[in-house]
A and B are shown apart, each in its own frame.
Chain A
């Protein structure tokens, strides 16, 4: 991969931007927060899609599950959820600061855990599916979740839930949620960076390249896939919980399970940057989000159409992504295709033994 030095510069730049960004452009705090969310989505999608070769169209399901899990936890700690949702926001529950933050902390944590548990259960059902069947099956899971929640009155059904209100002024709340997304994105990135440098990352790549061979070599393929998916689901669950609290009002179709927006964006962003690489999804997400936000206002009503067109063009004409293209163009810069010396080169271990 890129050298440690370039990595350091990129990290320093990103972290500096992450801290200074909202201070310099206070009006865009939410936009930048969403950018970190996009980075998180693309990166965690890539765990299964890029690294393991299991292209999921349903990762957004864990986003929504996390969102609803945290909502229920935050309310249920101090109030009866059924009554609260039945009133459709008519009941204004006053949470004390202590109550709010305990609820939030517990809600975020449980959101991740519950999403991960659901991912394992779903994974046991769908991991026998290969290729396009897996993609369709996971899409089905996401759509089914949205519909089930819509019909479940306990959590507000199609009407949604108003989330507990963040104590303090508006500026403070948006900064707080910004910080959560920023930290979450950084933590997830560093975690994945470590993950891909372990045997676990190699196992995922092996499954991607030839799953039958991996099985023939004795790899516990199902175990690896379940853990990988649970990792993605865990982060998506927390992200969903933070997003729900940031928006303040959640409902199943547009906010919690946006299959046709965030759900497909995360795939498109990972492909744009280059799937199967650590930095590709990050690059793709930042680029996608910035371009989207910059052009949004000029496109009037056509923004969604343009977005659909961009996704199609991206997939059809530029599927290897920016980093994939760069790797093909300058392989040596990525440490690939290095043929060292003649046949007489010897491994370091053997040399030491000989000396």
Chain B
């Protein structure tokens, strides 16, 4: 670990490379986390199958790449397909757990996560896959910083997607209904908002965002049926750290996590990358708890 730290200090370009790669990945994390914040804030459902939607989206891109279509085109297709899938899941499962205690929704979505992972494993097998888009790489700083075009493109796509969603939430009728429901579902219902439909739409939109993020993951990284849970945990880290309804915070925390994960993977070794993410979750949770504790009870 110390050796690697010395390398970083000796070669700032390498550190910059890690930083840039972290930003690319962080953009995807931010998207997934934004979807979670949406569902969590609007419906109070802690969606633990978040990461599995990402992986499903990734496999859609993989399938398209296999059949000779450029996987970047998979983005809109995955978005639409996952929207429909999310809507179906809402009708079948989520609808029945929205009003129940939060552990129920957590457990139900955890069950869904297992289910999705198992189905993917049956169809695609446990091998690691990637969707090859066929773009080149360009180098900076004497070849120490390698930037693949596909990563740059995916960053742009993630940004465009995020912008589109933000504009949609701000200006469309449904977007306003969603925000109203998030603030006070009872009042929204009284004022004629069909909250059931809003919930369905929100959940489906989340699945669609995750699916699109998954396409990007399969472009720049690898997918595997059981990788979903780590994305879910990352999303929880980001949302818990940033706080609900704090969009700039979510995006910032997403980039932060991407960079932190990349750095720690380099410093500690790749085998500890997941452990690092999970430790971050625990640290964030415990920090929040201490904060809460101080406000609530400690009499000083």
Contact = CB atoms under 8 A, between A and B. Distances in A.
Contacts of B122: 301-302, 305
Sorted nearest first, the 10 A-B pairs with minimum C-beta distance are A308-B115, A147-B275, A312-B111, A144-B278, A128-B289, A311-B111, A308-B114, A151-B271, A304-B118, A132-B102
Interface stretch (B26-34, B141-149, B190-198, B280-288): B280-288
Contacts of A136: 46, 48, 106, 236, 281, 285
A39 interface: no
Contacts of B186: none
A55 B103 contact: yes
A132 B46 CA distance: 8
B285 A129 contact: yes
B143 to A, nearest CB: 30
B61 interface: no
Interface string B93-125: 100110011111111101110110111011000
Interface string A261-287: 000100110010000000000000000
Given A132-B106, A305-B122, A315-B108, A157 B271 contact: yes
A264 B108 CA distance: 11
Contacts of A301: 122
Contacts of B115: 305, 308-309, 311-312
Contacts of B100: 319
A135 interface: yes
Interface string A230-274: 000000000000000000000000000001100010011001000
Q: How large is the interface on B (under 10, 10 to 19, 20 to 34, 35 or more residues)?
A: 35 or more
A81 interface: no
A312 B272 contact: no
Given A143-B274, A260-B229, A315 B282 contact: no
Interface string A286-330: 000000000000000110110111011001110100000000000
Interface string A111-148: 00000000000000110110111011101110110011
A315 B110 CA distance: 10
B233 interface: yes
Interface string B260-300: 00000000010110110011011001101110110000000
Contacts of A132: 46, 102-103, 105-106
Interface of B: 46, 48, 93, 96-97, 100-108, 110-112, 114-115, 117-119, 121-122, 226, 229, 233, 236, 240, 269, 271-272, 274-275, 278-279, 281-282, 285-286, 288-290, 292-293
A146 to B, nearest CB: 9
B108 A316 contact: yes
Contacts of B107: 55, 57, 135, 267, 271, 315
A30 to B, nearest CB: 23
A317 B96 CA distance: 8
A351 B114 CA distance: 59
Contacts of B282: 125-126, 137, 140-141, 144
B275 A144 contact: yes
B271 A315 contact: no
Contacts of B274: 143, 147
Contacts of B290: 128
B111 A129 contact: no
A312 B104 contact: no
Given A125-B282, A131-B103, A147 B93 contact: no
Contacts of A259: 229
Interface in A63-115: none
Contacts of A308: 111-112, 114-115, 118
A304 B115 CA distance: 8
A151 B275 contact: yes
Nearest to B121: A304
A158 interface: yes
Contacts of B275: 144, 147-148, 151
Contacts of B93: 312, 316
A173 interface: no
A315 B112 CA distance: 11
Given A55-B103, A57-B110, A319-B100, A125 B286 contact: yes
B271 A150 contact: yes
A126 B229 contact: no
Contacts of B271: 147, 150-151, 157-158
Contacts of A128: 286, 289-290, 292-293
A331 B282 CA distance: 42
A307 B117 CA distance: 12
Interface string A147-168: 1101100000110000000000
B101 to A, nearest CB: 8
Contact of A151 (B236, B269, B285): B269
B210 to A, nearest CB: 18
A312 B102 contact: no
A41 B214 CA distance: 35
Contacts of B233: 139-140, 143
Q: A151, A259, A271 — which one has the most chain B CB atoms within 10 A of its CB?
A: A151
A140 B281 contact: yes
Contact of B278 (A57, A135, A140, A268): A140
B111 to A, nearest CB: 4
Given A147-B278, A305-B118, A312 B112 contact: yes
A147 B278 CA distance: 9
A260 B110 CA distance: 9
29 contacts: A126-B286, A132-B103, A135-B106, A136-B236, A136-B285, A140-B233, A140-B278, A140-B285, A143-B229, A143-B278, A144-B275, A147-B272, A147-B275, A157-B271, A259-B229, A260-B114, A264-B110, A268-B111, A271-B107, A304-B114, A305-B119, A307-B118, A308-B111, A311-B115, A312-B108, A315-B97, A316-B96, A316-B108, A319-B104
Given A133-B288, A140-B233, A315-B111, 20 more contacts: A55-B107, A57-B106, A57-B110, A128-B289, A132-B46, A133-B285, A140-B278, A140-B285, A143-B229, A147-B271, A260-B114, A260-B226, A264-B114, A301-B122, A304-B114, A304-B118, A304-B121, A305-B115, A308-B111, A316-B104
